[in-house]
């Protein structure tokens, strides 16, 4: 899946749909492309954690890809990189 623009709390409904899809039978990995994001805040970082937690419950591994600029800095500052796999 690919995310674009700026994430904000108003996007939580879309994230609920993503989490619901993680509960359906499917692949054992989930790649989230963050390359199209202009920015991310703490609420949205929490939503990424929600995706990761839900995926783990289903035996699915999550990888965040393509983060740049402010998004990459936020992932590093919050140490999400220690919990969710992050790739370039």
Q: What is the pLDDT of residues 25-44, one digit of tens each?
A: 777 888 888 998 888 888 88
CATH of region 2-87: 3.30.750.24
CA 74 – CA 22 distance, rounded (Å): 25
**Whole-number pLDDT of residue 20:** 75
Of 76, 58, 59, residue with least CA distance to 67: 76
Predicted local confidence at residue 72, as pLDDT: 94
Residue 52: CA count within 13 A, CB half-sphere: 16
User: Can you list the residues of the chain whose pLDDT is less than 70?
Assistant: 1-15
How would you label 42-74 residue by residue, b for 16+ Cβ within 10 Å and e otherwise? Answer: eebbebbebbbebbeeeebebebebbeeebbeb
């Amino acid at each position: 899946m690919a995310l674009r623009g700026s994430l904000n709390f108003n996007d939580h409904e879309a994230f609920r749909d993503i989490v619901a899809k993680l509960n359906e039978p499917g692949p054992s990995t989930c790649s989230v492309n963050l390359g199209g994001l202009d920015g991310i805040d703490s609420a949205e970082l929490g939503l990424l954690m929600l995706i990761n937690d839900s995926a783990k419950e289903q035996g699915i591994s999550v990888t965040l890809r393509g983060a740049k600029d402010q998004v990459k800095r936020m992932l590093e500052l919050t140490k999400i990189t220690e919990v969710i796999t992050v790739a370039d």
